[in-house]
Amino acid sequence: MKYIVRWGLMRNTRAENIQEHSLQVAMIAHALALIGNSQFGENHDVGRIVTVALYHDASEIITGDLPTPIKYFRQDILASYKALEAHAERKLTGLLPSELQSAFADVIESERIEPAVSRVIKAADSLSAYLKCVEERRAGNTEFQRAEQYLREKLDGMTDLPAVRYFRDYFVSGFELTLDDLSHD
C-alpha cells in the first residue's frame, strides 16, 4: 500500500500513498463513529468501522488508484471498475491462509460491509480527501481548488451524518495550523 500514490493527475506539494491515507481515514472514521454515538445518539460499532476503514482501499494494491474523474466519467466505467475492485478484494483474501480468509474477507470485501459502516467510511474518505486539499492550498498549491470546492459541497450534502458537520466545525481548522501555532501558549 505504501507504493500506491494517490492524486496521480495532480501536482502535489507532498505525495500521499494509500497506506497513510487509509490510516487517516480510519482515524477520521473512528472520530465520526464516536461523535455520532456520543453527540447524536447513534449506535455505531466503532471497532468494526475502524477495522474496515483500515482496509477500505486494500484492493488498490492490485488495481492501483484510479483517479476520480476517470472512475466517474461514465456509469459503465464505474460499473466495470467496481467489478474489478470486487475481484481484487477476493484475490487478496484468497492469498491468505485458509483459516484467516473469512475473517479478512469480512473487512476487505465490499459486499460483506454493512451499508451503515460503509456510509461512515465514505464520509471519512471524503473528509480525508478534503483535508488533503486544505493542506495543498495552505502550501500555496492552487491545483486542488476545484477538488476542494467539490468535496466541500459533497460534505455539505451529508446531512444524514451529523457527525460530519460536527467534525468540520471542531476539527478541520486545526489542520490549517502550523506546528508553531499548535505549540504556542
98 class by beta-carbon count within 10 Å (0-12 exposed, 13-18 middle, 19+ buried): exposed
**What is the span of the domain harbouring residue 151?**
18-183
Contact 119, 161 (CB under 8 A): yes
Tell me how many domains the chain contains.
Answer: 1
Residue at 49: amino acid letter? I
Residue 124 forms part of a structural domain: yes
13-61: pLDDT as tens digits = 999 999 999 999 999 999 999 999 999 999 999 999 999 999 999 999 9
Confirm whether 80 is domain-assigned.
Answer: yes
Whether 5 is covered by a domain: the verdict is no
**Could you give the residue ranges of the DSSP H alpha helices within the chain?**
18-40, 46-54, 60-63, 68-71, 75-94, 98-108, 115-138, 145-156, 162-170, 179-183
Indicate which CATH number applies to the domain containing 104. 1.10.3210.10
Give every residue of the chain whose pLDDT is below 70, as ranges: 184-185
